[in-house]
Structure 1
Amino acid sequence: MIRFLVPALCALATSAAAQEMTCVPTRDDEERLSRLDMAWKGARDDAIKGGAAEELRRLGPIADPRVNLNRPQPTPGRYQCRTIKLGAGSEGMLPYIAYGWFRCQVTLTPGGDLILRKTTGSQRQSGLICPDGRRKARFVGVLSLGDEVRTPRYGADPDRDLIGEVRRIGEDRWRIAFPWPAYESKLDILELRRTR
């Protein structure tokens, strides 16, 4: 009996979490995403001026705004993920930072919602990956910090709200580009690679 009860409870918890999330961005986030091209240009220019041209070249499709593959939504499963920050968000910030690898998970709820959660690290994104055409998808979610246990509610704090463009960049590899984040940079990139 317990064997069947545990998966059912997990499904209910995941479904309840999805109901608190939304694919409808705030007006501010919609406006931020509309300026994604400007974020890419400013962030890449800053990184190159700051001496990170070679790093950008090595990143290949991760840092190439022109990537245009089909199937933009990642498949459910476990992922390695890392954050790359491009462009100085304010005076004194570094124009290029690449962090190490952490763990992410993509789950499909019984209702058909696709949820992404970064499960380790001091800055953890969580939210819905929403359809937005054949070549891109949209991430709408929030940022948890430090040892916070409760995930902030989307729309409650603009500094924690996240919006990003999801694109597939290769076999079992995706990226989410977050324009104009509240902290540190002009563009954050979350790179995802599927683990076997």
Structure 2
Amino acid sequence: MRMNLLPAIAASALGLTGCSVYREATSTHLPTDMRWELIATADDAARLRHWRKDWDAALPDARTANAAAIAGDPLLFDPDRALPDPTPPAGDYRCRTLKLGSIHPQVAGFTANPPYACRIADEGQVKRLVKLDSPQRPTGLIYPDAKSRAVFLGTLVLGDETAPLRYGLDARRDMIGYVERIETRRWRLVLPSPHFESKLDVIELVPAG
């Protein structure tokens, strides 16, 4: 059985001053020396806590829209696939976003976006994930969590913006997800209940070289 990403003790921690103190700070950079539970907003914590519900809702929609794509990559689309050592090492990656399920009738139930360049960088105890191109660029930190799970917290950078918004300032820009290793040199970032278009986003990461 898969480990709960947000144990009960973490839920109580969200009410502590760490989260509110951070949101009142002026820095746009997430702290690298704190547990993610003390930084995440209550809304993001709830999204992460309900990851299984989102998989269960998104996968049938995606299969209806494109059964061949889902069946053709069983490791990527297995909700319980998670190997030890979940955090990708520093380096350049080829990333690909796949949107599962739809929250709007006019949006397809499965969308596979073209690959793009992204980068993982060391930030002490954590790793930084940055999307390097395209108008929508997730950026944030990957925090240690469990033996086979890490947690991503970040924001969405748009257009010609040169710096991310401060996390917690705009809920629709805030991002939370979990990172898993699904093969020897293949990872995924799962984003439950994204604010736009889909029910669940999966970002595949493979080394660029």
Q: TM-score, normalised by structure 2?
A: 0.81
Deviation for aligned residue 1:19: 7.8
Matching of residue 21 in structure 1 with residue 7 in structure 2: no
Residues 28 and 167 in structure 2, CA contact (< 8 A), matched pair in contact too: no
Q: For residue 45 of structure 1, give the secondary structure of its aligned residue in structure 2.
A: helix
In the TM superposition, 1:74-93 aligns within 5 A as 74-93=88-107
Structure 1, 41-50 or 126-135: larger mean CA deviation: 41-50
In the TM superposition, 1:111-190 aligns within 5 A as 111-190=124-203
Higher helix share: 1
Instruction: Please give the root-mean-square deviation of Cα atoms over the aligned residues, in Å.
Output: 1.5
Q: Deviations over 1:18-77 (max 9, x none)?
A: 982143210000000111001111110111222x11110112211110102111001011
Residues 141 and 154 in structure 2, CA contact (< 8 A), matched pair in contact too: yes
Quickly say closer, same or farther: Cα 1:93–1:19, change in 2 above 3 A. Answer: closer
CA separation in 1, counterparts of 2:43 and 2:96?
A: 26
Identity of aligned residues (%): 37
CA separation in 2, counterparts of 1:113 and 1:48?
A: 35
Task: Count residues in correspondence.
Answer: 177
Q: Deviations over 1:57-105 (max 9, x none)?
A: 1122111101021110010111010100000022221100001111110
Deviation for aligned residue 1:148: 2.1
Q: For residue 101 of structure 2, give the secondary structure of its aligned residue in structure 1.
A: strand
Matching of residue 30 in structure 1 with residue 45 in structure 2: yes
CA separation in 1, counterparts of 2:112 and 2:159?
A: 18
Residues 155 and 173 in structure 2, CA contact (< 8 A), matched pair in contact too: yes
Q: Which runs of 5+ in 2 are unaligned?
A: 1-26
Q: For residue 54 of structure 1, give the secondary structure of its aligned residue in structure 2.
A: helix
Letter of the structure 2 residue corresponding to residue 76 of structure 1 = A
Matching of residue 45 in structure 1 with residue 60 in structure 2: yes
CA separation in 2, counterparts of 1:112 and 1:48?
A: 38
Q: Which runs of 5+ in 1 are unaligned?
A: 1-17
